[in-house]
Amino acid sequence: MTQTDVISTQSCNKELFLHQLSTNAKDLVEGLVKQIRLGLQQYDDNHFEIARNIRFILYQREKKLKAILTAEIKDKEWQVRYAQLCGLLRAMLEQLNSQSENIDTEFSDLLHQLIATIHVYDENDLPDDLKTGQSCQQHFAALCDTNPNIFQLKLSDLETVEQNEFESKISKLLEGLQNKDDPISKQIRATVTAVHEEINDQCDQFKLNKPKKFKPEFAKYTKVLNIAASFIDQPIRGDVLDSIRIIRLRGMADLVNDQPSPPPKKVVGAMLGLVAVAMIAMGIAVAVSVITPFSALALVIGTALMWKVSSLTVCGSAAIVSTLGSVGLFSSSMRYGASKEIKKLSNILAKENSEASRRRTYSGYIGSL
């Protein structure tokens, strides 16, 4: 079977794909990058605790995509970038399948969904008149060789890299909070301090007898720091994306070490509900701005998430309302340490978000007069 035949069997839009790859490959590449970024970020956002082998695949994904978009290429520039993206996706799947740890079927399905849209086999060159003289795998390997700091990290180095990233984030956050005394900044500072103390305690326990339960979870707590930092970089405006951020943060209070947590399905359902709405919106934006074979993927994933929410939390149109209203029920148990400070921060942010939303509504009303 020829490469062209493969494309024909994979897509009823064979001619459109080949035409775009030939005449408008830049848009095709940028569309695929959007879908890769959206899919991987979606997975990362919806999973507070991620298996080591998947964290390894996700690590530095933005730098990897940037390396592809900025690589110096003399001939057939955007076609070669497309081949590199194909190689990246195949390499991710190979890394996932090569690990002895249990394979996460959700992450595996995500990679397979992305790969199903590219229409090019990894071991093959681009089809017909678009041939570059090398396979997608060879193009990607050459990219890895020219960017060893990004692409050639070893799995055994992951924990060290995550620790360095955690410590760097702590320092940057505390530095940025200097001389800030507003309620949100003060509570972020308290949250950062509590997170640091909890990690230090994990490190001390691990040094004593190295039980698995005390292994320092740098990646997990860096997620808390990242979302806390987002409220400094992007202050509350009172919109739905702020609500998503607050719900994600509030859910983390129930999932840090040794905290009594709500039923896992409620946590997942709460997060998925709002993320699904955001994904559908972003999918529509992609579909409107760039007509590519990938523009529907966000819509598909987002809609699938909405179905998942209906089975995890409640049914029908009440799902999102329930998501927003029921998260407060997660706080009934006694809290301490990082969990306590995260919850306090989420409450302060929720109050500010509510006030900002009212201000937006009032301004819109006045503007309409």
Q: Is the pLDDT of residue 345 over 80?
A: yes
**Calpha distance 276→199 (Å, rounded):** 32
For residue 280, what are its two tokens? 């559908």
**Residues 2, 125: contact at Cβ < 8 Å?**
no
3-12, 43-52, 301-310, 353-362 — which one is most confidently predicted on average?
43-52
**Calpha distance 54→68 (Å, rounded):** 21
H or E segment at 43? helix 25-46
Q: Which residue has the higher pLDDT, 150 or 335?
A: 150
Q: Mapping DSSP to helix (H, G, I), strand (E, B) and coil, where does residue 369 land?
A: coil
What's the distance, CA 69 to chain centroid? Answer: 19
H or E segment at 98? helix 77-98
The model's pLDDT over 11-55, given as tens digits with 9 standing for 90+, comes to 456 678 888 888 899 999 999 999 999 999 999 999 998 999 999
The model's pLDDT over 228-248, given as tens digits with 9 standing for 90+, comes to 999 999 999 999 999 999 999
**Calpha distance 320→120 (Å, rounded):** 38
Per-residue pLDDT averaged across 172-185, rounded? 93
**Calpha distance 256→338 (Å, rounded):** 7
Q: What pTM value is reported for the model?
A: 0.74
pLDDT of residue 68: 97
Identity of the amino acid at 185:
S
Share of the chain above pLDDT 70, in %: 71
**Residues 230, 245: contact at Cβ < 8 Å?**
yes
pLDDT of residue 214: 66
Residue 238: CB atoms within 10 Å: 16
CB-count exposure of residue 233 (10 Å: 0-12, 13-18, 19+): exposed
Identity of the amino acid at 227:
I
pLDDT of residue 130: 82
Comparing CA positions, the residue from 355, 349, 351 lying closest to residue 186 is 349
Residue extents of the structural domains in the chain: 3-153
Q: Checking phi first, is residue 316 left (phi over 0); if not, alpha (psi -120 to 50) or beta?
A: left
CB-count exposure of residue 362 (10 Å: 0-12, 13-18, 19+): exposed
Per-residue pLDDT averaged across 142-159, rounded? 93
**Residues 253, 330: contact at Cβ < 8 Å?**
yes
pLDDT of residue 102: 72
Q: Mapping DSSP to helix (H, G, I), strand (E, B) and coil, where does residue 259 land?
A: coil
**Residues 104, 54: contact at Cβ < 8 Å?**
yes
H or E segment at 137? helix 136-146
Residue 295, C-beta contacts closer than 8 angstroms, at least 6 positions apart: 31, 283, 286, 287
**Calpha distance 275→47 (Å, rounded):** 12
The model's pLDDT over 235-288, given as tens digits with 9 standing for 90+, comes to 999 999 999 999 999 999 988 875 554 444 444 554 555 555 555 555 544 444
